[in-house]
Amino acid sequence: MLFVCVHNAGRSQMAAAFLTHLAGDRIEVRSAGSAPADTVNPAAVQAMAEAGIDLSAETPKVLTVEAVRASDVVITMGCGDTCPVFPGKTYLDWRLDDPAGRGVDAVRPIRDEIERRVRDLLAELLPR
């Protein structure tokens, strides 16, 4: 699974962290951005820490064709990113507010919506 956003500093990092936290080693999780930032958004790091997930050591990564090719599911985060399209892959677009430049109070609802979507996706992919 690959989560993609422009800067790979907020939404895609939070989504990847939630999926990794919830799925463990059952799903290989990646995140990337077409124009990665230098660091992960500090408000996203703080909001995720409140949820018990540490993003402090994460770094934004550049989107590569190889990352898309290696993923079965590619989820863009509503930021207009262009992503290589390969047959046989599932592509989803989650339209979410951008946490860039916002404080933790504004990031919490975005975090919560991402967690809800990740839990729903996980239930579809790995039904009990």
Which residues are catalytically annotated?
A: 5, 79, 83
Distance (Å, whole) CA 117 – CA 112 = 9
Q: Name the 3-class secondary structure at 39.
A: coil
User: Strands of 73-76's sheet, edge to edge?
Assistant: 30-33, 2-5, 73-76, 90-93
